[in-house]
Amino acid sequence: MTMIQRANKKLILGGIWSVVALSWIILGAVFFLSEERTTAIIAVTSAAIMAEIAVWLSALILGLAMVDARKAIWGRLFQRKVA
């Protein structure tokens, strides 16, 4: 893999996770500024979906090894054996 390809991956991943960080910052602002429950639920759902999409996009960019590592983490969290 060339240095340019690695730099492009880092740039793309940085952009993806910057959007996720921004969504969580907006979520925090919504909690403090909004009194409507519906708005808060939409903000939480949107931030969670963005984070999940970012995880899977990162897995696509970095390769399938990340998917296997994620399965192992979930297995440890919930005390299941991962095949």
- The whole-model pTM stands at 0.67
Average confidence (pLDDT) over 27-34? 93
Give yes or no for a contact between 15 and 54, defined as CB atoms under 8 angstroms apart.
Answer: no
Hey, where are the domains in the chain?
A: 3-77
- DSSP letter at 31 equals H
41: pLDDT strictly greater than 90: yes
If you average pLDDT over every residue of the chain, what do you get? 85
Q: What DSSP character marks residue 34?
A: -
Distance, in Å, from the CA atom of 7 to the CA atom of 28, rounded to the nearest integer, reads 31
As a whole number of angstroms, the distance between CA 49 and CA 12 comes to: 18
pLDDT in the model for residue 83: 56
